[in-house]
Homo-oligomer: A and B are copies of this chain.
């Protein structure tokens, strides 16, 4: 079967949707499909793993749902400045990481290998989870040689020591991921900003590790005061021009925008405010980004996946910006 060209011409001649958006073999944003990141500036991919979820599962099918929404809802020009988001760079959908849903540790290694290959080929990864634990193996691949900064949109700090108090042998889940990343030397905590933190807490010290390690934590109470522009300013100040990762947990948004996630929290910012914040983050030295915790079985009418697809479009816009400056 080797001699047959794979995807039809009409499908990937260019990244613009030319046909029925409810049909076709779907890729992220109508991007061409590639075997791997060879020759790419940006590699979009899915990480269908949710073995790190401590509450409600379902994020394993996040890539499928966000890919579909990005195919059917996203057009190629950005409304703020008519940038052709998929032109001027080489970008493709390289599919999903192959992993084993029932084998957490083996799967984390597979994810690291997948992203190490992207990095080795010189592309910037744009990953769709999966639960937030997937950020750890991604960072292991991208920050293997030095700690990086991070802009982290989330309702939760994800810097617990263990889901079971006092049982430190249980180390890896979506609530401990960034504590592990700091411990492993992948994150420079003083170059990390967390935006949107809120909700009832497990302990009186839920923010302890974040604050003590030097992260900048912007709670919703503070956000109410400083607004999206204040958050943008703080984020830019904290990460500076060093290498920076961006991680967007969909539950950063108010729960009304993301019913389809494992731990929705009410009282967050709107999707509009998230768009405004992302659009204020051009010019940074981004090394990759992820959007995680979309859990389609918990979603209603595809609302969460839809919002995620739009935010992913803004992440793509940011990575394109970073890739172009890197090349220049």
Contact = CB atoms under 8 A, between A and B. Distances in A.
B271 A275 contact: no
Interface string A77-101: 1111010110000101111111111
Interface stretch (A23-31, A236-244, A280-288): A23-31
B8 A34 contact: yes
Interface in A59-115: 60-61, 63-64, 67-68, 72-80, 82, 84-85, 90, 92-104, 106
A23 B64 contact: yes
Interface string A11-48: 11000111111111111000011111011000000101
Given A60-B57, A300-B303, A96 B20 contact: yes
Nearest to A204: B82
Contacts of A145: none
Interface stretch (A134-142, A187-195, A252-260, A320-328): A252-260
Nearest to A307: B266
Q: Is the interface of A mostly helix, strand, loop or mixed?
A: loop
Given A60-B23, A302-B259, A100 B163 contact: yes
B21 A55 contact: yes
Interface stretch (A146-154, A165-173, A178-186): A165-173
Interface string A291-305: 000000111111100
Contacts of A39: 1, 3-4
A47 to B, nearest CB: 8
